[in-house]
Amino acid sequence: MPLGALRPTPLVEQATDRLREQIVGEEWPVGTKLPGETSLAQMLGVGRSTVREALRALAGAGLVQARQGSGVFVIATKPKEDWSTRLRRAAVADVYEVRMVMEVEAAQLAALRRTEEDLTAMKSALAGRRSALSGSNAEFVDADIALHAAVVASAHNPVLTALFTEFVPALRQGLIDLVELLDLRTKEPDHSDAGHAALVDTIAEGDAEAAGRTLREELRRTLAQLQSV
């Protein structure tokens, strides 16, 4: 894969991306010694200082390592995860564990206490969630929360409803992060529509055990995906 000259700006970012492509695509496998700064500068059509900054960025990502007197070598073909991403993933996992405790109980209570008005609200929220599949991440997350809020409200426990309301801001951001981290909108275009429809059905049938199990399995599946990243 020829490197090719770069566009005028931003040079450091472009140089970093172009070199990263060579490494991640294994055009330069682990153990490969990279061309010298002068050669890379000529290939990319930039100055040596730009190449130096690009190599520094790649070293920070754990892809290359400079060895005194020997040059720069490829040491990995997959960037290491940065600390902010690790913290973000951990935070989303924490949010999911808390919502599992809260919402599974709410789903079970909802199956026992829901009214016809509650069912209408849940079905409307499910339809809204489906409509939001074509929207932005934030729009989809808001629609998803609206459905879960309808389930919690159907439990008719004011303390549980108040707790969920207080939890929504953290839940909303956690869900947006989750969608982005796992790229769920691409991997699962319908994003568990069947599971959510089944949840509404089990609540409508008054089957508390099935409602709790359905929601627990749905949340556990997503949590497992998150923890495997």
Residues 6+ apart with CB under 8 A from 145: 168, 171, 172, 175
Whether residue 150 contacts residue 119, with contact meaning beta carbons closer than 8 Å, is answered with no
Q: Could you tell me what percentage of the chain is helix, strand and coil, using 3-state DSSP and rounding each to the nearest 5?
A: 70, 5, 25
How would you write the pLDDT of the chain (229 residues) with one tens digit per residue? 556 554 444 788 888 989 999 998 889 999 999 999 999 999 999 999 999 999 998 888 888 999 988 899 999 988 776 655 665 666 778 888 888 999 999 999 999 999 999 999 999 999 999 999 888 889 999 999 999 999 999 999 999 999 999 889 888 888 888 888 777 777 777 778 999 999 999 999 999 999 999 999 999 988 887 776 6
**Rounded Cα–Cα distance for residues 33 and 66 (Å):** 10
Tokens of 202: 């089990």
Q: What is the pTM of this model?
A: 0.62
